[in-house]
Amino acid sequence: MQQRTPLIAGNWKMHKTVDQARETARQLAALAADADGVEAMIAPPFTALAPVAEVLGQGPVRLGAQNLFHEDEGAFTGEVSAPMLVSAGCRYVIIGHSERRQYFGETDRTVNLKIAAALRAGLRPIFCIGESETEREAQKTFSVLDKQVRKGLEGLSLAQLTPLVMAYEPVWAIGTGKAASPQQAQEVHAFVRSLLAEMYDTALAQSVRILYGGSVKPANVRELMALADVDGALVGGASLDAGTFSQLINYRK
């Protein structure tokens, strides 16, 4: 059975000035120093990436970004590329978050281009998928996720996908305090893993980490992390405070 190192990732969304980000990162680096085989990552807003990279240094917490543009450079006002994120100290990048799809017009196609750009630059993409409440109620969860995964990974080869991380974030669970039940999460994660096995092979499917996101808190992290196909968490609100987020990182203790 494949060993997948758990990843607890914090998505700070549009929160924290440079000073606030530095301070939280400083506290977190100290609190996460001895995380018992768990990998930790934070994704501050673009403006705080380089300053937070300095604070984190070679310590236990890794740095990620929340988005990128798929071209490497050029006349694309307001955008940030994968090589720029690498140069700012990022190892990870969140791609296709439902807020990007909902408010910023991202589609399966743009998500596909962004995943390819991240991989080209040596970044690990955290590829987000998830169904809305209406889609779940209409029994469309699996068909929606099937399409998001197939289109998001279109044209990408098995050899390219070794660094891939997936995140299942049901839209109805984000910021609502209503996390998916362990049964709902495990069922979807197992489905995604079998889909990867069908599209690529079993070895890739067994090695890709699939994170759960949506109202993960200290009170529910253990039951989620105990599930066979849940390999980590993508955390919004509970990642903003170093004390709370370190409880998630240290869930094994």
- Catalytic residue numbers read 97, 169
Number of residues that bind ligand 13P (CB under 6 A): 14
Stretch that binds ligand 13P, among 50-58, 139-147, 214-222, 242-250 (CB under 6 A): 214-222
Instruction: Decide: is 220 part of the binding site for ligand 13P (CB under 6 A).
Output: no
- Strand partners for 94: 126
Strands (E) across the chain are located at 7-11, 39-43, 61-65, 92-95, 124-129, 165-168, 209-213, 232-235
Nearest to 249 by CA among 237, 171, 235: 235
Question: CB–CB of 20/248 below 8 Å?
Answer: no
Q: Nearest approach, Cβ of 73 to ligand 13P (angstroms)?
A: 27
Stretch that binds ligand 13P, among 47-55, 72-80, 197-205, 209-217 (CB under 6 A): 209-217
Instruction: Decide: is 213 part of the binding site for ligand 13P (CB under 6 A).
Output: yes
- How many angstroms separate the CA atoms of 220 and 208, rounded? 23
Stretch that binds ligand 13P, among 20-28, 52-60, 79-87, 230-238 (CB under 6 A): 230-238
Instruction: Decide: is 234 part of the binding site for ligand 13P (CB under 6 A).
Output: yes
Q: Nearest approach, Cβ of 213 to ligand 13P (angstroms)?
A: 4
Instruction: Decide: is 236 part of the binding site for ligand 13P (CB under 6 A).
Output: yes
In this structure, what is the dihedral angle of CA atoms 207, 245, 35, 7, given to the nearest 10 degrees?
Answer: 10
> Which of residues 70 and 97 has its CB atom nearest to ligand 13P in the complex?
97
Instruction: Decide: is 97 part of the binding site for ligand 13P (CB under 6 A).
Output: yes
The total of other beta-carbon atoms located within 10 Å of residue 146's CB is 16
Instruction: Decide: is 216 part of the binding site for ligand 13P (CB under 6 A).
Output: yes
> Which of residues 106 and 169 has its CB atom nearest to ligand 13P in the complex?
169
- How many angstroms separate the CA atoms of 183 and 189, rounded? 10
The total of other beta-carbon atoms located within 10 Å of residue 17's CB is 11
Question: CB–CB of 18/47 below 8 Å?
Answer: yes
Query: By Cβ distance, which residue is nearest to ligand 13P?
Result: 236
Instruction: Decide: is 175 part of the binding site for ligand 13P (CB under 6 A).
Output: yes
> Which of residues 40 and 238 has its CB atom nearest to ligand 13P in the complex?
238
> Which of residues 200 and 249 has its CB atom nearest to ligand 13P in the complex?
249
In the chain, the N- to C-terminal Cα span, in Å, equals 23
The residue from 81, 110, 186, 215 that contacts ligand 13P (CB under 6 A) is 215
- Give whole-number Cα distances, 193 to 1, 26, 93, 180, 207, in Å: 14, 35, 21, 18, 9
> Which of residues 6 and 237 has its CB atom nearest to ligand 13P in the complex?
237
Interface contacts to ligand 13P, rule CB under 6 A: 11, 97, 169, 174-175, 213-216, 234-238
